[in-house]
Amino acid sequence: MKKIRYIFFISCFLLTACSEDNDRFLETVDVTFRFTQNWKGIPITASDFNEFKFTNQNGDLIGIERLRYLVSNITIGSVVKDYQLIDVGEGTGLEFVVDEVTKGLKTLNFTFGFKNEDNLEGSYQDLNSVSFNVPELLGGGYHFMQFDGKYKDHNNQDANFNYHVIRAADNTDPTNVILEDTSFEVDLGELELNSSTVIEIKMDVSEWFKNPNTWSLQQFNTRLMPNFGAQKLMEANGQSVFSLGEIKFN
């Protein structure tokens, strides 16, 4: 009987001790990711759509009508969210919370679009359900961005543009489509997390038309999905689109 009592007390002591250790080492916080969009620093929301109110580097006057884009492998420290579709026009997907990120210095990065290994034909039901797919003739998988609107053409007429970013596909020979991964990594550096935090990730939409390639909508406006060269230019311009915005510690 004495022996049993002894073992019971020892066990209680050990379990209590373990519990205290866990609390100390696994203290976690919630991290909210908030995606915002701007044009050279001026915020863009759905209320700015459908009006000719932006001028790109090439001098094309444009109006935005649809803007939705995909980011994946959103990583903070060792916590990874698989992907997120942001639809600016519908105001969906702009914000999400990652729970239980341990405190401390964390790296922050994500992929614009899907890497080849994640860009799997028809595999994501939520993306299929909002018709974000790319035809198999162009290698399948998903759009990285669907950015539609109008610009003023040389005759000052309203003309349509479809700036659709996908994995580059050369289907000159439909029996041998050549694919090139045009997703890219966005590294936002390191962040010290001591409490629940809201992290703003900014997209400067004007950069898609600017750097390093001055984008002429008079030249590249529609039918860009099967245009391998245009997709490569988009990939290059996308590199400077995202930046870290406001950080709020709660």
The residues of the shown chain that bind another protein, judged by CB under 8 A, are 49-50, 65-66, 121-122, 125-126, 128-131, 133, 135-138, 146, 148-150, 157-162, 164, 221-226
Q: Which CB, 162 or 213, lies closer to another protein?
A: 162
Q: Which CB, 90 or 187, lies closer to another protein?
A: 90
Count CB atoms within 10 A of the CB of residue 109: 14
- Where does the chain have alpha helices with state H? 2-25, 125-129, 228-238
Buried b (16+ CB within 10 A) or exposed e, 163-184: bbbbbbbbbeeeeebebeebbb
Q: Which residues contact 198 (CB under 8 A, 6 or more apart)?
A: 31, 32, 34, 246, 247, 248, 250
* Minimum distance, C-beta of residue 109 to another protein, in the bound complex (Å): 28
* Minimum distance, C-beta of residue 246 to another protein, in the bound complex (Å): 30
* Minimum distance, C-beta of residue 76 to another protein, in the bound complex (Å): 26
Measured between alpha carbons, how far is residue 220 from residues 79, 108, 117 in Å? 39, 33, 29
Dihedral sign computed on CA atoms, order 60, 62, 66, 70: positive
* Minimum distance, C-beta of residue 220 to another protein, in the bound complex (Å): 12
* Minimum distance, C-beta of residue 19 to another protein, in the bound complex (Å): 36
Q: Which CB, 110 or 114, lies closer to another protein?
A: 114
* Minimum distance, C-beta of residue 202 to another protein, in the bound complex (Å): 24
Note if the bond before 174 is cis, omega within 30 degrees.
no
Q: Which CB, 78 or 157, lies closer to another protein?
A: 157
Q: Which CB, 153 or 200, lies closer to another protein?
A: 153
Cβ atoms of 77 and 86 within 8 Å: the answer is no
CA–CA gap between residue 194 and residue 179 (Å, rounded): 43
Count CB atoms within 10 A of the CB of residue 148: 16
* Minimum distance, C-beta of residue 161 to another protein, in the bound complex (Å): 6
Burial class for 250, CB neighbours closer than 10 Å (0-12, 13-18, 19+): exposed
| Tokens found for residue 83 | 């992907």
Q: Which CB, 39 or 110, lies closer to another protein?
A: 39
Q: Which CB, 72 or 197, lies closer to another protein?
A: 72
